[in-house]
Amino acid sequence: MGILSPIMSFIVDREPNYPSPSEKVKLNKVIGRYRLLLKTIAWRYDIGEIKFGLADLLVGRNEPGDYKEAIRLYNEILKGVSSPYLRARALAGKAELMITSNVKAEIDEAISLAKSAASIIKEEINTNDFFYQKAQVVEAELLTKKGLPPDAKLAAKLYESVIKNEKSNAYFKARAMVGVSELKTYSASVKELKKYADYCHTAQILLADRPSDYFMIKARVVEAEILTRSDPKKNVNKIIALCNQVIAAKDADLQLVLRAKLDKADVSKPRNALAIIKDVKATKDLPDYLAKKAKIVEEAVKKRMK
């Protein structure tokens, strides 16, 4: 879910690229270099920045254990850092990694961290800053996860503030577009849905250089769901095309793939739809919300068969 900061992206891009290594190979090289620095030059004045750089890189790599190590580094920074801006970046980074929690108290804590980060950066730098936008989007995603109507309303405002800022970073603008579109998929009126379908389409353009990114793939899923709600018969070919792109995406998040399969089943011919649903229901440890969606789609398909 993370994104490398501009500084870290610059460092990674400057790594030797002959013969051309994969992005992960480049990340591994820089991560190794940063770990070596932390072991051998722990007295450096910029040790906090080195720790933040390593955490940033670990989030970007996202291998097993990377998020846990990144959280540890963020906590170390927060214990001893003197720079307000570095503290704010660590707060935003830690808050983002806490999105995966299902503990209400931890989600509330993460919201507080994101708010603090945005407040510090607004005072120290400005609202056009990359990490200010990150803090805003992360806070919105956390509020969305809480699922309460007041929280959803505030989340939508935060998303829209990032979208409307002409100087927003393209990645976070796209992420905000996907976030608010998902939030509005079933709460907006049918007339409003075109705006959110357009948001999802624009997000895919903004993320074109990140074909495997979680939010690139999610943009397709959300667009398919919006088009299904607005006019499934008119949009059937586009819905199926979007779903097929998600299903075929390499290393795509499993839950997004399962959502895409059910969205495809929802507009497919009954025989094909039932086969897809059967495949989804056979998934080991299928999340409850997807099991419920599979049941709803299956019932709708069977009604079409009568």
Count of alpha carbons within 13 angstroms of residue 193, beta-carbon side: 17
Summarised one tens digit per residue, pLDDT across range 153-189 is: 999 999 999 999 999 999 999 999 999 999 999 999 9
More confident residue, 114 or 127: 114
Using an 8 Å Cβ cutoff, are 285 and 258 in contact? no
Q: What is the pTM of this model?
A: 0.88
Of 29-38, 64-73, 99-108, 276-285, the range with the lowest mean pLDDT is 29-38
Burial of 264 (0-12, 13-18, 19+ CB in 10 A): buried
Structure tokens at 275: 């086969």
CA 73, CA 71: separation in Å to the nearest integer? 5
CA 182, CA 171: separation in Å to the nearest integer? 17
Q: Looking at residue 113, what is its pLDDT?
A: 98
Per-domain boundaries in the chain:
169-306
Summarised one tens digit per residue, pLDDT across range 52-84 is: 999 998 988 888 999 999 999 999 999 987 799
CA 20, CA 81: separation in Å to the nearest integer? 37
Closest CA relative to residue 248, chosen from 240, 257, 258: 257
Q: Looking at residue 37, what is its pLDDT?
A: 82
CATH architecture designation of domain 169-306: Alpha Horseshoe (1.25)
